[in-house]
Amino acid sequence: MDERSQEEIISEKTGLDSLLAKLYQPGPLIVFFTLAFISLVSLGYFVLTEDTPPPAIVAEAPAASAAPPAPEPRVYEEASSDMEDKVKQADLAIIETLRAMSLNMNELDLLDVEIRQLDGKGYHYQVLRLPPVTEQNQFHKTLQARLAERVPEAALKASSANELGVTIEGHPTHRLLLETIKLTLPRPEPKGPKLAIVIDDIGESMKVLKGLVNLNFPVTLAVWPNATYTRPSVELISQKRRDLIIHFPMEPKGYPRYNPGDDALFVSMSAEEIKRQITESVSKIPEAIGVNNHMGSKFTGNTPGMKVALAEFKRHGLFFLDSLTASTSVARPSAKQAGIPFYERDIFIDNVKDVNAIIHQLKKAESVTLKQGNAIAIGHPYKETLAALKQWNNGRNQSIELIPLSQMTAK
């Protein structure tokens, strides 16, 4: 290497060393580090304050073993119609009524169902047999209230003594068959002579009725179906567990001078009219276990009418007591033909409304009872009759047992 090249190298080295020497002076170093610090702080501020962009969404390819999408749930029933929805609400009202009255739900029986059409949509018409009901009137009120809550368009109507019908907007939806429990209790067959006392014409005097049901011996009460206090009388008799029968008006020989009322049975009636009138009257006292005639000296002597009437009473599960207002009555042979339990009055006790006269008649009833082994006496809800019964019972023949009519053997 020549001298000139060597000098240049030395010169260059000397220049770099000179620059470094200058840079390593305290003043320039301070400036350099200050600028570097400021740059770092600025970079950090920019990084921390800048909005971070969301990560890119990368669609993943479906795995080969991925499960297929879940199938939609199956529909097992088509959408119901408006009427069907209301029918279901009526079903619930019936069930709620059964529960409210503590009836056995297991005895609710669906006898028949029919799909009916309304505006091109179907709804179910049902025939149901209900569990035995002890208080039909209370059942009717409770069901009516439940229906009003759930289906204001529904109406409840008694079709007969043991049948109710439900309609919604005028369309029949339910037929309810009531299996009624009679309110008389099973009693052992008494021994010795037996006397049953029946009091007719119940339904106009609650004061006398209260005295009768509180006697310390049983009396059978016959209630008019259309009296002023028919339902209060029935409820009181049922509460006291006395035998309850219907005092059914029938045409007398002296009609129209002696008027039994528009709800009576008349010999001019057709068979259908007789059945319809009986169904209507029985529906007002569904708790009854039997029937006896009010007046009826003409109707009870009419064989065609009595055959229809007694067969209809039997259909409603009732027995018949002939008040025997006329010797021409054909009730006994008609009852035998109809196969209905039959009783017959032996003596009236209060044709004269005098306490002593009534007591005398009651003593006659005792004599008949001792001779025949049993007897039926009929009286009326007079205050004199009530007083006579109380007085007579204190001194009567105690060998005679006073019994409800339902406990006496039918003829």
In this structure, are 152 and 214 located in the same domain?
Answer: no
CB 151 within 8 A of CB 86: yes
Following DSSP, what letter does each residue of 393-407 receive, concatenated?
Answer: HHHS-TTSEE--GGG
Q: What is the 3-state secondary structure (H, E, C) of 113-168?
A: EEEEEECCEEEEEEEEECCCECCHHHHHHHHHHHHHHHCCCEEEEEEECCEEEEEE
Per-residue pLDDT 10s for the chain (411 aa) are 444 445 444 444 455 455 445 545 555 555 555 565 565 545 555 544 544 444 444 444 444 445 555 544 433 333 445 888 898 899 889 989 988 888 887 788 877 767 788 887 778 888 888 888 888 888 888 999 999 999 999 999 987 778 899 999 999 999 998 875 554 444 455 578 999 999 999 999 999 999 999 999 999 999 999 999 999 999 999 999 999 999 999 999 989 999 999 999 999 999 999 999 999 999 999 999 999 999 999 999 999 999 999 999 999 999 999 999 999 999 999 999 999 999 999 999 999 999 999 999 999 999 999 999 999 999 999 999 999 999 999 999 999 999 999 999 998
In this structure, are 248 and 168 located in the same domain?
Answer: no
> 115, 148, 177: which is the final residue of a domain?
177
Q: How far apart are alpha carbons 172 and 32 in whole angstroms?
A: 103
CA dihedral (184, 185, 190, 193) in degrees, to 10, reads -20
Q: How far apart are alpha carbons 5 and 118 in whole angstroms?
A: 120
In this structure, are 135 and 223 located in the same domain?
Answer: no
Q: How far apart are alpha carbons 338 and 40 in whole angstroms?
A: 120
| Whole-number pLDDT of residue 64 | 47
Nearest Cα residue to 157 out of 27, 280, 34: 280
Q: Supply the range of the domain harboring residue 90.
A: 82-177
| Whole-number pLDDT of residue 269 | 97
In this structure, are 137 and 236 located in the same domain?
Answer: no
CB 279 within 8 A of CB 243: no
Q: From residue 159, how far is each of 94, 176, 221, 284, 291 by CA, in Å? A: 17, 9, 25, 11, 20
Identify whether 19 is part of a domain. no
Identify whether 8 is part of a domain. no
| Whole-number pLDDT of residue 37 | 59
Q: From residue 406, how far is each of 83, 185, 288, 411 by CA, in Å? A: 46, 9, 11, 12
Q: Is the dihedral of CA 257, 260, 263, 269 positive or negative?
A: negative
In this structure, are 215 and 244 located in the same domain?
Answer: yes
* Ramachandran category for residue 219: left, alpha or beta (phi over 0 → left; psi -120 to 50 → alpha): beta
Question: Cβ–Cβ contacts within 10 Å for residue 348, how many?
Answer: 19
Find the helix or strand (DSSP H, E) in which 305 lies.
Answer: helix 303-315
In this structure, are 208 and 173 located in the same domain?
Answer: no
| Whole-number pLDDT of residue 189 | 52
| ω into 54 cis (within 30 of 0) | no
CA dihedral (390, 393, 394, 400) in degrees, to 10, reads -170
| Whole-number pLDDT of residue 138 | 87
In this structure, are 198 and 255 located in the same domain?
Answer: yes
CB 289 within 8 A of CB 275: no
In this structure, are 95 and 223 located in the same domain?
Answer: no
| Whole-number pLDDT of residue 339 | 95
Look up the CATH number of the domain holding residue 333.
3.20.20.370
Q: What's the number of domains the chain is made of?
A: 2
* Tokens of residue 300, six digits: 């009870």
